[in-house]
Structure 1
Amino acid sequence: MAIFIRISAFLFYFLLVSLLSHQIMSQPQHMHTFCDKLSENFTQTSQYKSNRDTLLSSLRDRSSLETYYNATVGISPDTIHGMFLCRGDITKTSCSNCVKTATLEITTNNCTNIKDAIVYYEECMVRYSNVSFLSLVESGPWASRYSVASFPDSFFNPFQRTLSDKVEQLIILTASKTSLSSSTPYYVKDRKQVNNFDGSYTLDTMVQCSPDLDPANCSVCLRLAVQGVSSCCNNARIAQFFIPKCFLKYDTSGLPTTQSPSGSFSVHAMKGKHNTGASIIF
């Protein structure tokens, strides 16, 4: 009996540790939450609040089935529009977990009574608004995440040319991957082995657009993301840049890097009506 109890206790402990480890590993990585303080407010007893609850519940339900979904709830003046978009390279379980986490985050963090909000995670984005945003290209709010580690000066110019050429290829390819031709529309990733006189390295690149954009606007959105990366993350070895309808991500390995003395984690927020954003540096 004592042996059985010890074995049972060990199995219980093992299962508990495994469950907790899985939960920790599967937590989506929050980047930034934007609450448009210039938009209208609503009260907790209003019809808009009820419509928002219905909308966010719908987004959570659909996130286990799809990587993208949009919905509109209610009639004017209490209409609310919402959407989620998950990264094309994550599982349905991770997508659902991210959207569920985001729909909780977006109703807190000072967005409780705000009619327009958007939250970015590394794995997904969720937004809602009293103004329709479907089919529109928007330059902000944006969120970026990039590494402190950067390239030595001798690698910078060749790397920039290689990255620019590769991203342009992916933009053209992405615009052709519509919902009729791909299980994950407007999503492309690529791995390239780069060889030059200073050495070789691996470049992983990923781009994705929201399916509510047409091909031309998908290209426009991704080029805005390219401009954003150039502005925020110049010479970074790893970078991600998100705007409301698309994102760009690249990663390199195999090259020597330089790093700032602190190597610390920090967040920088920039404010402006049409250019609100936040950068995470790691």
Structure 2
Amino acid sequence: MDTKNLISLIFLLQAIINGVNLSIAQKPGPGQLFVCSSKAGNFTSDWVVERDVALTALLVNRDESKGYYSGTVFGQSETIWGIALCPSTIKPQACRDCANTTVTYLKNNCPKQKEGVAWTSLERVFCMVSYAEFELKGKFNEWAYATFKSPPNQSPYTAAELEKELNNLANKLKGMVTQTPKFYGSGSVIFGPGSRTLYGSMQCTYGIGIDGCMACLSGITNRVHSCSKQRSLSGIAATNNCYFWYRHKNFLP
């Protein structure tokens, strides 16, 4: 091979290597959404610091029997409660990593509001972090909503077919949620002429009770149809109390 052709080959190989590196560098980050509420007012600058302490404390105190993290900071004039929730089937470190990302995101986007919630959607993990100036456990106070969806018109089934199977999947998972102290359920249904599988998981925050959990899951089942109506391959509907996640591809542990 002459020198000219050798140099051309080297440039071609380098371009291929650079192209691979560029695709890795431009890989999209996690999907994240947040909601802040100033209905109860805003924290003073000192209590913003304490709020951040409470959120950081979430990543230390995991109740393995319930599958969530919680933290509380008591002060002379304010008390802050926080909860971090992940699927109970994932490893604690994966939950902490997701929650850590969400805590940073929440602190940046809700700088002083007295109530806030944020969600992070990763490839196989979905997590939520919320805080308030009142105790969150035992409170069915649904005020924040989020939806994550893949691009439209990718499902091989019609919107009506997908909606019907999502309802079947939701009913199956609701039965599982009520049977576990972690208020979590996951599984699949097979449908369509090609015997395709639809996977899903559902979870409620601990402490809202079975009635509150079922009301929340029924509500987000209706909300997830905004994904099925667009024939999205995957979708998540979430509130500050629960979520429903479906995908055509298996994402379950």
TM-score (norm 1): 0.68
Shift of 1:231: 4.0
The 5 Å alignment of 1:77-226 reads 77-109=77-109, 111-122=110-121, 123-150=126-153, 155-178=158-181, 185-196=182-193, 199-226=194-221
1:274 corresponds to: none
Superposition pairs for residues 62-77 of structure 1, below 5 Å?
Answer: 62=61, 67-75=67-75, 77=77
Cα distance in structure 2, aligned partners of 1:76 and 1:175: 39
Instruction: Return the letter of the residue paired with 2:218.
Output: R
- What is the CA–CA distance in structure 2 between the aligned matches of 1:151 and 1:158, rounded to whole Å? 13
Output the amino acid matched with 2:234. Answer: I
Which amino acid is 1:34 matched to?
A: V
Distance 2:177 2:79 in 1: 32
**Is it true that 1:32 corresponds to 2:33 in the alignment?**
yes
Deviates more, 1:151-160 or 1:73-82: 151-160
How many aligned positions are there?
219
Aligned partners of 1:152 and 1:53: how far apart in 2?
41
CA offsets 1:93-149 (integer angstroms, 9 cap, x no match): 11111122222222212x222221111112211111113332223443111111223
SS of equivalent to 1:136: coil
* d(CA) in 2 for partners of 1:87, 1:28: 20
Structure 1 regions of 5+ residues with no counterpart? 1-23, 179-184, 254-282
Give the secondary structure class of the aligned counterpart of 1:38. Answer: strand
Equivalent residue for 2:53?
Answer: 54
Letter in 1 for 2:213: C
Residues 176 and 215 in structure 1, CA contact (< 8 A), matched pair in contact too: no
Matches of 2:59 and 2:107, distance apart in 1 = 13
Residue 228 of structure 1 is matched in structure 2 by 223
In 2 relative to 1, CA 114–28 (structure 1 residues): closer, same or farther, beyond 3 Å? Answer: same
Q: Distance in 1 between matches of 2:80 and 2:106?
A: 14
**1:251 lines up with 2:247 in the alignment:** yes
Asked if structure 2 preserves the Cα contact closer than 8 Å seen for 1:60 and 1:103, the reply is no
> Alpha carbon RMSD of aligned pairs, Å?
2.9
CA 152–78 in structure 1, closer or farther in 2 if over 3 Å, else same: closer
Shift of 1:202: 1.2
Once the two structures are superposed, the pairs formed by residues 18-29 of structure 1 within 5 Å of their partners are: 29=30
| Seq. identity, % | 22
* 1:39-88, Cα deviation, whole Å (9 max, x unpaired): 312232x3x33432331231122359784022332156311111110123
1:241 partner SS: strand
AA aligned opposite 1:249: W
Partner SS for 1:149:
coil
**Conserved in 1, the CA contact under 8 Å of 2:120 and 2:128?**
yes
TM-score scaled by structure 2? 0.75
In 2, the alpha carbon distance for the partners of 1:216 and 1:91 equals: 28
Deviations 1:3-36 (A, max 9, x none): xxxxxxxxxxxxxxxxxxxxx9xx9824212222
Q: Which runs of 5+ in 2 are unaligned?
A: 1-24
SS at 1:236 equivalent: coil
